[in-house]
Amino acid sequence: MKQIHFRFDDSLYCLVDTYLKETHQSMQDCMREALISYVSSARKKTGQNRKGTFTFIDLFAGIGGMRIAFERAGGTCVYSSEWNKYSQQTYLANFAEQPEGDITKVNAEDIPDHDILVAGFPCQPFSIAGVSKKNSLGRATGFEDKTQGTLFFDVCRILQAKRPEAFMLENVKNLCSHDRGRTFKVICESLEELNYEVFYKVLDGQNFVPQHRERILIVGFDRQRYGREYEFDFKITPVSPKPCMKDILESNVDSKYTLSDKLWVYLQNYAAKHKAAGNGFGYGIAPLDGVSRTISARYYKDGSEILIAQEGKNPRRLTPRECARLQGFPDSFKIPVSDTQAYRQFGNSVVVPLMAEVAELIVKELARLEKAAEEKAV
């Protein structure tokens, strides 16, 4: 932690002091936010960000897994949004810019123009009471009626305002069956209503990392720009040889990651109890030559879903760096937060190389569509 000292004239100090009292912030937090905002803005104005072949925005950005993926595909991120302060901290440490906060309070017109919208929005139920009433009256309903009050609504309003050429949305596999399938139905209908051609598929991260992690990806292309003839397909190319758990493990691991006797006995008893009841709840010892279960944001609690066996010792949980590797983050990725926050962040993140593979497919299809549009115009 470094210290910086500032000198204020009386008028500026009074102005800052009044602001602090109004917002209930500390001087340290206020100055930190001001410096971050200034540096991020200055970098964009002076063109210090890497120029890519396309631009994209990173919504519900987390710690930037999607950003890494789309930058690998040749893109430049022109805007990011993430409300969690610890995720913002990690994002800042790795990309030298802090995402904007609550997306619900952002005017869509203030977001920079971009080619691709990228978002890993939270899964929320949609209220259909108002929709049903309008249907009974023979009145049309739109995404504003169906999705109001959810964070997916913010994705839609930005798509409507900025009309990017394409988008990619990521969510949990269970989005398809959430609320008996109604949630996914509303999502697809809303995207098609905005005049986008929609493709979706559940993909498994174990084709790129040693983790069974199924996620649904929803990709769309602008019909207003490209019409309705598409060749897009989720034809991913798995890495070879297939990754296994031993590939991501650190050689020297602190003893603090080894489970205590008390916790280990509890986990064994818990597993035995559920096994006797005929269900599969319990801890998971990851096979070193195979793949692990899905890591979740709750991994910080006890690490029980993915444990590593140790000879002559209790099993241990993964280290934060091993969790990063399990999601395909490079070792250069900085982890500036506590272990608890790191576990939450990587558990909530994406399998980076899988997202990069799909990003490449989107970029390839956009290039084909642009070429076809040019030939048609001649």
pLDDT tens per residue, range 283-326: 899 999 999 999 999 999 989 999 999 999 999 999 999 999 99
User: How far, CA to CA in Å, does 196 sit from each of 93, 107, 218, 239?
Assistant: 35, 22, 11, 31
Q: How many CB atoms lie within 10 A of CB 323?
A: 26
Check whether 26 has a pLDDT greater than 80.
no
Torsion of CA 52, 55, 58, 63, to 10 degrees: 0
Start-to-end CA span in the chain (Å)? 60
Q: What does the pLDDT read at residue 373?
A: 85
Check whether 43 has a pLDDT greater than 60.
no
Q: How far is CA 48 from the centre of its chain?
A: 24
Are 209 and 243 a contacting pair, CB within 8 Å? yes
Q: Is 14 a catalytic residue?
A: no
Higher pLDDT, 340 or 179: 340
Q: What does the pLDDT read at residue 198?
A: 97
Mean per-residue pLDDT for 241-258? 96
Are 88 and 29 a contacting pair, CB within 8 Å? no
User: How far, CA to CA in Å, does 292 sit from each of 90, 234, 257, 304, 310?
Assistant: 25, 24, 17, 11, 16
Higher pLDDT, 88 or 28: 88
Q: What does the pLDDT read at residue 31?
A: 57
Alpha helices in the chain (DSSP H): 10-23, 27-45, 65-72, 85-95, 129-136, 143-147, 151-162, 182-193, 223-226, 261-276, 299-302, 320-326, 339-348, 352-377
Check whether 360 has a pLDDT greater than 50.
yes
Q: What does the pLDDT read at residue 130?
A: 43
Q: What does the pLDDT read at residue 8?
A: 58
Supply the mean pLDDT for the chain.
Answer: 86
Beta bridge partners of 220: 167, 198
Mean per-residue pLDDT for 33-48? 50
Q: What does the pLDDT read at residue 128?
A: 47
Could you read off the pLDDT of 99-121 as tens digits, one per residue?
999 999 999 999 999 999 999 98
Mean per-residue pLDDT for 234-257? 95
The two three-digit tokens of residue 377, written as one number: 């115009």
Phi/psi at 123 (nearest 5 deg)?
-85, 120
Could you tell me how many helices (H) and strands (E) the chain has, helices first? 14, 8
Contacts of 57 (CB under 8 A, 6+ apart): 77, 78, 79, 80, 81, 111, 112, 114, 116, 117, 118, 158, 164
Q: What does the pLDDT read at residue 51?
A: 62
Q: What does the pLDDT read at residue 132?
A: 47
Could you read off the pLDDT of 125-171 as tens digits, one per residue?
555 444 444 444 454 444 555 555 688 889 999 999 999 999 999 99
Q: What percent of the chain has pLDDT over 90?
A: 66
Q: What does the pLDDT read at residue 339?
A: 97
The model's confidence at residue 277, banded by pLDDT at 50, 70 and 90, is: confident
Mean per-residue pLDDT for 215-235? 95
Higher pLDDT, 97 or 14: 97
Q: What does the pLDDT read at residue 144?
A: 54
The model's confidence at residue 36, banded by pLDDT at 50, 70 and 90, is: low
Higher pLDDT, 50 or 71: 71
Could you read off the pLDDT of 163-216 as tens digits, one per residue?
999 999 999 998 888 878 888 898 999 999 999 999 999 999 999 999 999 999
User: How many residues does the structure list for the chain?
Assistant: 378
Q: What is the distance between the alpha carbons of residues 100 and 117, in angstroms, rounded to a whole number? A: 15
Check whether 6 has a pLDDT greater than 70.
no
- Select which of 123, 176, 188, 244 is catalytic: 123
Check whether 20 has a pLDDT greater than 90.
no
Closest to 215 measured CA to CA, from 83, 6, 357: 357
